[in-house]
């Protein structure tokens, strides 16, 4: 850490000059944008926009993920001092990354949310930037995938999750975090042949052609083999990574709405994400962080690390492939 900078920097989310470089202000003070990036709606020259969707009206059990984006941003204040550990890439120095802030929506008009969110993502994509989204419950991935599919066509998706989110539901107007992948496949946003779910440990009758690596299989295969298989499945086409924090075992991420035992350890998730380097990542999200159920903050810390690794994967796809 540059001690002189630490002594003088504060609120770099608003005072930063330029969009690149580290931030050295005290982790416990200042405005908590993601990785202390600039809060701005100006997309000119931006490579990657971080945005939050504090929505949790689609949960089937415990709510609280509306506080996820705020908690992840706060947890990320521990990270912007140095290059990301374990990555031979340096996105904060080599990319223009901003915090685009949160989606604005009427919490009492839930049916309006999907199109508002799709339009929010379209705006960013139209400017030539990618997105990493901080959730929010897992429903938010569906409107995001819609916007991405409009630009890139059907996507290869790598989904980290305890649940497949493939509950059969042909009512597209229903807003439910347990049916979002079913609807994404049925709507043609996702290419099942190029998609894989990692960490699954709940029952699903029909995976609609998606490949599955259960949590037990991931434990027995090892992280490197899981990543290798996932990369082979998604291939070179446009890929999207959606990471439900309940892919992690509750011992590592208790702050989530529908925890299931037997999940990935933090180190496994980190190793898999880093070994995914080389996929053509066009966007991603981290969802289902519910701070009210974790007084330690460990779940938000895990979410912040996942988000930073997604930033690294995005940068790698543009500089190392």
CA distance 179 to 199: 17
Average pLDDT over residues 189-216: 97
The pair of three-digit structure tokens given for residue 51, joined into one six-digit string: 């945005």
pLDDT the model gives residue 186:
97
Which residue in this structure is represented by tokens 């590592």? 252
Q: 136-150, pLDDT tens digit by residue? A: 999 999 999 999 999
What residues make up the domain containing 269?
A: 3-319
pLDDT band at 320 (very low <50, low <70, confident <90, very high): confident
More confident residue, 149 or 24: 149
Average pLDDT over residues 115-130: 98
Q: What is the mean pLDDT of the chain?
A: 95
Tell how strand 48-53 and strand 280-287 pair up. unpaired
Q: 210-266, pLDDT tens digit by residue? A: 999 999 999 999 999 999 999 999 999 999 999 999 999 999 999 999 999 999 999
Q: How many domains does the chain have?
A: 1
- Give the start-end residues of each E strand in 17-111: 38-39, 48-53, 97-102
The pair of three-digit structure tokens given for residue 245, joined into one six-digit string: 């924090």
pLDDT band at 89 (very low <50, low <70, confident <90, very high): confident
Average pLDDT over residues 304-321: 94
Separation of CA 160 from chain center? 10
More confident residue, 16 or 130: 130
Q: 276-310, pLDDT tens digit by residue? A: 999 999 999 999 999 999 999 999 999 999 999 99
Q: In what order do the strands lie in the sheet with 130-135?
A: 38-39, 97-102, 48-53, 130-135, 280-287, 238-244, 156-160, 196-200, 211-214
Q: Do 150 and 122 contact (CB within 8 A), yes or no?
A: yes
Q: Is the pLDDT of residue 2 over 70?
A: no
The pair of three-digit structure tokens given for residue 8, joined into one six-digit string: 């003088």
**CATH at residue 90:** 3.40.800.10
pLDDT band at 4 (very low <50, low <70, confident <90, very high): low
What DSSP state is assigned to residue 202?
A: S
> 50: closest CA among 33, 66, 64?
33
pLDDT the model gives residue 114:
97
CA distance 257 to 178: 12
């Amino acid at each position: 850490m540059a001690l002189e900078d630490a002594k003088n920097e504060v609120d770099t989310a608003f005072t930063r000059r330029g969009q690149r470089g580290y931030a050295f202000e005290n982790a416990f003070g200042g405005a908590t944008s993601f990785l202390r990036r600039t809060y701005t709606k100006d997309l000119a020259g931006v490579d990657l926009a971080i945005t939050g969707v504090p929505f949790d009206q689609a949960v089937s059990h415990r709510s609280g993920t509306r506080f996820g984006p705020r908690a992840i941003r706060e947890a990320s204040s521990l990270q912007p001092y140095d290059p990301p550990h374990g990555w031979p890439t340096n996105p904060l120095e080599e990319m223009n990354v901003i915090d685009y802030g949160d989606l604005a929506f009427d919490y009492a008009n839930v049916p309006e949310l999907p199109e508002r969110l799709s339009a929010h993502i379209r705006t960013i994509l139209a400017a030539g930037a990618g997105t990493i989204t901080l959730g929010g419950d897992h429903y938010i991935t569906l409107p995001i995938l819609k916007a991405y599919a409009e630009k890139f066509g059907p996507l290869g998706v790598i989904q980290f999750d305890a649940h497949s989110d493939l509950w059969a539901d042909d009512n597209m107007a229903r807003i439910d975090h347990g049916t979002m992948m079913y609807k994404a496949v049925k709507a043609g946003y996702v290419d099942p042949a190029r998609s894989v779910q990692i960490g699954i440990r709940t029952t699903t009758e029909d995976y609609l052609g998606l490949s599955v690596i259960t949590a037990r299989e991931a434990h027995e295969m090892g992280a490197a083999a899981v990543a290798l298989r996932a990369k082979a499945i998604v291939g070179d086409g446009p890929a999207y990574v959606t990471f439900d924090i309940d892919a992690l075992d509750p011992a590592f991420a208790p702050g989530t709405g529908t925890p299931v035992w037997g999940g990935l350890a933090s180190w496994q998730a980190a190793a898999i994400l880093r070994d995914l380097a080389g996929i053509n990542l066009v966007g991603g999200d981290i969802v289902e962080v519910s701070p009210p159920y974790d007084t330690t903050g460990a779940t938000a810390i895990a979410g912040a690390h996942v988000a930073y690794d997604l930033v690294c994967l995005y940068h790698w796809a543009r500089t190392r492939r």
